[in-house]
Amino acid sequence: MRRRELNYTEIALLELLRGSWESVVEGGWAALVAATADASERGTLRLDRVASAVDGERSPTARINYARLANDVQNRIRAVLPVDQEQATH
C-alpha cells in the first residue's frame, strides 16, 4: 500500500485532494497551494511520495486535484526563485 510510505501531513493532503479541501481549507485553493509549497520547501511534505500514492488512489477527483496542485505549486516555486536568486547575487 503506497500510503504506508506517507507521513501524517502527506496523508492529510491526500484526503483533502479527494474533494474536502473546498470545505476545510480557509482561504481556498490559493491557501492550499501556498501551504503545500511551504511544507514542501521545509521538507515536511514530500510531493514525490504524494504523487506516487495518488497514482494508486481510486478517486479520480484526488488524481485531478493532485495534478492541478502539483502544477500550481511548481509555478509558485518558480515565481519565487528568480527573486531569491537575484537577492543572493547582491
Give the pLDDT confidence of 75-90 residue by residue, as tens digits: 998 887 765 555 555 5
Q: Where are the alpha helices (DSSP H) in 2-46?
A: 8-15, 21-24, 28-42
pTM, two decimals, is 0.82
At 24, is the secondary structure helix, strand, or coil? helix
Judge whether 16 and 68 are in contact, CB under 8 Å.
no
Phi and psi angles of residue 84, each rounded to the nearest 5 degrees, phi first: -65, -45
Q: State the cell numbers at 20.
A: 474536502
What is the number of structural domains in the chain? 1
Structural domain that includes position 54? 2-89
Q: How far apart are alpha carbons 78 and 20 in whole angstroms?
A: 27
Q: State the cell numbers at 68.
A: 492541478
Q: Render pLDDT for 1-55 as a digit per residue (tens, 0 to 9).
A: 577 889 999 999 999 999 888 888 999 999 999 999 999 999 999 999 999 999 9
The C-alpha torsion from 57 through 13 and 73 to 88, rounded to 10°, is -140
